[in-house]
């Protein structure tokens, strides 16, 4: 890995945050559509974001699900889970030639002094970096726990 690799991975992560924040903000206005066919355009927009930023793999759990071959949103919440104004990068580590772990702190939306430790694993593929997983540190269990993207 060269000196430009980690900043490239960070840029991908920040673009993902921006797009997810915009999607979550828009989708929340249509939350009453969850469980109906009206949600399909909202779900397709999420599918597009996932297609550009996440490692392609079968995700049985999470906010994007499929029913009868059509994308569905399993959940739409507020405040947005991805908020570039509340999440900051606090650490970076190249694990090997293709894997970078980026540590973040997410400030609580009501009490910004309360921060959650998170980390994202990004994998270098033929078309650039993609997010493989997201984890949150549980202070109660004293370990990292997988979060659904």
d(CA 118, CA 31): 26
Q: Is the pLDDT of residue 75 over 90?
A: no
32: its two tokens? 């009453």
144 vs 149: CA distance, rounded Å: 15
Look at residue 69 and tell me whether its pLDDT is greater than 80: no
Residue 22 has a pLDDT of: 95
Q: In this predicted structure, what is the pLDDT of residue 12? A: 97
Flag whether pLDDT at 102 surpasses 90.
Answer: yes
At residue 67 the predicted structure's pLDDT band, cuts being 50, 70 and 90, is: low
Give the range among 10-14, 41-45, 64-68, 108-112 with minimum mean pLDDT.
64-68
Q: Give me the pLDDT at residue 16, please.
A: 97
Cβ burial 27-36 (10 Å sphere, 16+ → b, else e): beeeeebbee
Structure tokens at 13: 């992560």
Taken in order of first residue, the domains within the chain and their CATH numbers are 5-147 (3.10.450)
The token pair that represents 64 in the structure block? 């994007």
Q: Indicate the SS3 state at residue 58.
A: coil
Higher pLDDT, 37 or 137: 137
The answer on pLDDT for 14 being more than 70 is: yes
Q: Higher confidence at residue 108 or residue 149?
A: 108
């Amino acid at each position: 890995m060269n000196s430009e690799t980690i900043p490239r991975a960070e840029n991908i992560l920040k673009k993902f945050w921006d797009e997810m924040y915009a999607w979550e903000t828009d989708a929340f206005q249509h939350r009453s559509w969850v469980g109906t066919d009206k949600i399909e355009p909202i779900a397709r927009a999420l599918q597009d974001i996932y297609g550009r930023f996440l490692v392609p793999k079968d995700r049985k759990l999470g906010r994007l699900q499929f029913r009868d071959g059509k994308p569905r949103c399993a959940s739409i919440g507020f405040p947005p889970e991805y908020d570039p104004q509340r999440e900051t990068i606090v650490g970076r580590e190249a694990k090997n030639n293709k894997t970078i772990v980026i540590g973040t702190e997410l400030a609580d939306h009501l009490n910004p002094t309360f921060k959650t430790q998170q980390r994202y694993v990004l994998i270098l593929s033929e078309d650039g970096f993609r997010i493989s997983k997201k984890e949150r540190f549980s202070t109660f269990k004293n370990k990292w726990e997988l979060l659904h993207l």
